[in-house]
Amino acid sequence: MNQGIKLELRAREELFINLEPLQRGGVVPAESRKVALSYIDGYSTCDYCLGTLHILKKPPICDFLTEVADFLGMDNAIITHGCREAKFAIMHAITKPGQAMVMDENRHYTSYVAAERAGLKTYEVPSTGYPEFKVNPEEYVSAIEKARKENGELPALVLLTHVDWTYGNLVDAERVGKICQEYGVPFLLNTAYSSGRMPINGKQLLADFITCSGHKSWAAGAGVVGILALRDEWKDKVFKPSQRYKVKPIEILGCSARGTSALVLMSSFPYVKERVKHWDEELEKARWFSGQMESLGDIRQLGDKPHNHDLIRFETPVFNRIAQKHKRRGYFLYEELLKRSIVGIKVGKTKSFDLSTYGLTREQLGYVIDSFRDVINKLS
């Protein structure tokens, strides 16, 4: 029937050790899979509709969001389609096209694209560059000042990527929050790679807004789902209802992610609350893995050292040298790892690559180290 379109079933977590940083925090626990199937039909969350999703009693989305706000140390939370949609909703609600916005150089591309969609002029806080690529909170002062000078007013919004997607660097958000507070500019903390993995407290970090990625870090796959949490003072502006439909927030067009996506986020939440308590173990494992990698020789970990996250980028001249003479060129590493049932390093990457150790056991990671060693011994 499907005129040539072949759709293969996927069994990545079942068949492989998966190191893809995008995917490690979004592996869905068994209990949520049951919930996912039971809510799979369209508009399954609307059986007992009360006009909008975030106030629902059955399933208890409203109670869940109260707990989520508390978990994040914020006053209110709603479900969004994703972290990027949460960022855009905030920008669209509190800024005007043509205004300035400050963000860090390590930001996710969606922070830039959301600002572009909102018509904002962006100012970037540079990183320190190779090899650590750190974002120094103090640099926010210069960027804010530059934006003020060029636009005749303070930036309308400041964004910090709590943990970035390239180096897995953790920035001192509280220090950036303090600077924003001193200037009186709103502070958006993008926690796509932090909340749901590590404990965070938005108010302690002086954030006005927290955005989260369900499928990246809250064990909530299925569709795409995110969270927008904020302090009470921003509620009226960001959750502003339609003039004609008083229960429908404009910035999420009434209701956003619902059905399985929302329910998986909700059913994985107890599991997520528990796992963030063990962040120190994850961190220890990540650091141990990084050390093991470097001990293989001619491999250097980039970013924060010691590292503060499970997303780790390595510079790997050892593999690049092999690629130069290998008949499969840059593909060799991907293929050698695949033979060993390891996936998640992007195809063609040999100069440097990122991976994540999140949720993998020491045994699995030991096997990964042994495999890299094997490849080096075999092909160097």
If one asks whether residue 6 binds its own copies (CB under 8 A), the answer comes out as yes
CA 206, chain centre distance (Å) = 19
Write out the H or E segment, with its range, that includes residue 100: strand 100-104
Out of 95, 110, 191, 211, the only residue in the binding site for its own copies (CB under 8 A) is 110
If one asks whether residue 174 binds its own copies (CB under 8 A), the answer comes out as no
Write out the H or E segment, with its range, that includes residue 17: strand 17-18
Instruction: Select the span of 25-33, 130-138, 228-236, 353-361 touching its own copies (CB under 8 A).
Output: 25-33
Q: Map the footprint of its own copies across residues 78-97, applying CB under 8 A.
A: 81, 84-85, 88, 92
Least distance between its own copies and beta carbon 199 (Å) = 16
C-alpha 247/C-alpha 234 separation (Å) is: 17
If one asks whether residue 30 binds its own copies (CB under 8 A), the answer comes out as no
Instruction: Select the span of 126-134, 143-151, 248-256, 285-293 touching its own copies (CB under 8 A).
Output: 248-256
Q: Map the footprint of its own copies across residues 196-235, applying CB under 8 A.
A: 214-216, 219-225
If one asks whether residue 173 binds its own copies (CB under 8 A), the answer comes out as no
Instruction: Select the span of 62-70, 154-162, 167-175, 296-304 touching its own copies (CB under 8 A).
Output: 62-70
C-alpha 361/C-alpha 289 separation (Å) is: 11
Least distance between its own copies and beta carbon 39 (Å) = 5
Which pairs from 371-375 meet CB under 8 Å and 24+ separation? 371/336, 371/337, 371/340, 371/342, 372/293, 372/296, 373/296, 374/340, 375/319, 375/322, 375/333, 375/336, 375/337
DSSP labels for 158-177?
EEEESB-TTT-PBP-HHHHH
Residue 149 vs 244, nearer CB to its own copies: 244
C-alpha 81/C-alpha 64 separation (Å) is: 17
Residue 205 vs 222, nearer CB to its own copies: 222
Least distance between its own copies and beta carbon 182 (Å) = 30
Out of 17, 54, 56, 59, the only residue in the binding site for its own copies (CB under 8 A) is 59
Q: Angle of helix 362-379 relative to helix 332-339, nearest 10 degrees?
A: 130
Out of 28, 210, 228, 360, the only residue in the binding site for its own copies (CB under 8 A) is 28
Residue 38 vs 181, nearer CB to its own copies: 38
Number of residues counted as binding its own copies (CB under 8 A): 88
CA dihedral 272, 276, 281, 286 (to 10 degrees): 80
Q: What share of the chain is helix, strand, coil (3-state, %, to 5)?
A: 45, 15, 40
If one asks whether residue 123 binds its own copies (CB under 8 A), the answer comes out as no
If one asks whether residue 9 binds its own copies (CB under 8 A), the answer comes out as yes
Sign, CA dihedral 30-54-200-302, equals positive
Instruction: Select the span of 105-113, 161-169, 296-304, 323-331 touching its own copies (CB under 8 A).
Output: 105-113
If one asks whether residue 251 binds its own copies (CB under 8 A), the answer comes out as yes
Closest to 132 in 3D by CA, of 156, 167, 101, 160: 167
Q: Residue 350 in contact with residue 319, Cβ under 8 Å?
A: yes
- Side-chain half-sphere CA neighbours of 76 within 13 A: 15
If one asks whether residue 67 binds its own copies (CB under 8 A), the answer comes out as yes
If one asks whether residue 243 binds its own copies (CB under 8 A), the answer comes out as yes
Q: Map the footprint of its own copies across residues 260-299, applying CB under 8 A.
A: 260-264, 266-267, 269-271, 273-274
